[in-house]
Amino acid sequence: MPTIPVSNSECGGGCGGAPSAGTRRDFLKQGAKALGASVATIILCDMTDLTKMAEASGATPQRANLFADGYDWTKHSYVYLVDIRKCIGCGSCVRACSRENNVPPAHFRTWVERYRVSRSGEAVIDSTNGGMDGFEPSQTGLDITKAFFFPKLCCHCTHTPCVQLCPVCASYRTVDGVVLVDETRCIGCGYCVQACPYGSRFIHPETHTASKCTLCYHRITKGMTTACVQACPVEARMLGDMKQVGDKVAEIIATQRVLILQPELLTDPNCYYLGLTKEAR
Partner 1 sequence: MGENGGFLFPNDLHILWQLMIVMYPYVTGLVAGAFILSSLYHVFHRDELRPIGRLALVASLGFLLFAPFTLLLHLGHPERCYNTLVTPNLSSAMAMFGFIYAGYMTLLLAEIWLVHRQDIITLASRSTGIKRTFYKCLALGVYDVSPESRKVDHGVLLILAGIGIPGAAFLHGYVGFIFGAVKANPWWSTPLMPIIFLCSAIVSGIAMVIILYSIGLKFSNRKIDAPCMQSLARWLWMFVLISITLELLEIMTLAYEAAEEWEIIGPLLGDQLAFSFIGIQIFLGAMVPIILLGIVVLMSRYLTDQIRNTLCFVASLLLLLQVFAMRWNVVIGGQIFSKSMRGFREHYTPGLFDKEGIALAIAIFVLPLLFIILFNRVLPVFEQPDEQLSTDTGTPSE
Q: List binders of ligand SF4 among 169-208 (CB under 6 A).
A: 170-171, 179, 181, 186-192, 196, 198, 200-201
The answer to whether residues 200 and 153 touch, using CB atoms and an 8 Å cutoff, is yes
Please state, in angstroms and rounded to a whole number, the distance separating the CA atoms of residues 62 and 268: 26
Q: Which is nearer to partner 1, 10 or 64 (CB)?
A: 10
Distance CA 210, CA 74 (A): 26
d(CA 24, CA 14): 19
Least gap, CB of 209 to ligand SF4 (angstroms): 6
For partner 1, the closer CB: 175 or 224: 175
* Cβ closest to ligand SF4, residue 108 vs residue 198: 198
157 binds, options ligand SF4, partner 1, none, Cβ within 5 to 8 A by partner type: ligand SF4
Report DSSP letters for 41-85, one per residue.
Answer: HHHHS--S-HHHHHHHTT--TTTTT-PPTT--GGG--EEEEEETT
- How many residues interact with ligand SF4 (rule CB under 6 A)? 29
Secondary structure (DSSP) of 136-176:
-----SS-EEEEEEEEEE----SS-HHHHH-TTS-EEE-TT
160 binds, among partner 1, ligand SF4, none (CB under 5 to 8 A by kind): ligand SF4
Residues 166, 187: Cα–Cα separation, whole Å: 10
267 binds ligand SF4 (CB under 6 A): yes
Taking a C-beta distance cutoff of 8 angstroms, is the pair 178, 221 a contact?
no
Site for ligand SF4 in 133-172 (CB under 6 A): 154-157, 160-162, 166-168, 170-171
Taking the complex as a whole, the smallest distance from the CB of residue 72 to ligand SF4 amounts, in Å, to 23
Partner from partner 1, ligand SF4, none binding residue 28, C-beta < 5-8 Å depending on class: partner 1
Return d(Cα 210, Cα 191) in angstroms, integer: 9
* Site for ligand SF4, rule CB under 6 A: 154-157, 160-162, 166-168, 170-171, 179, 181, 186-192, 196, 198, 200-201, 209-210, 212, 267
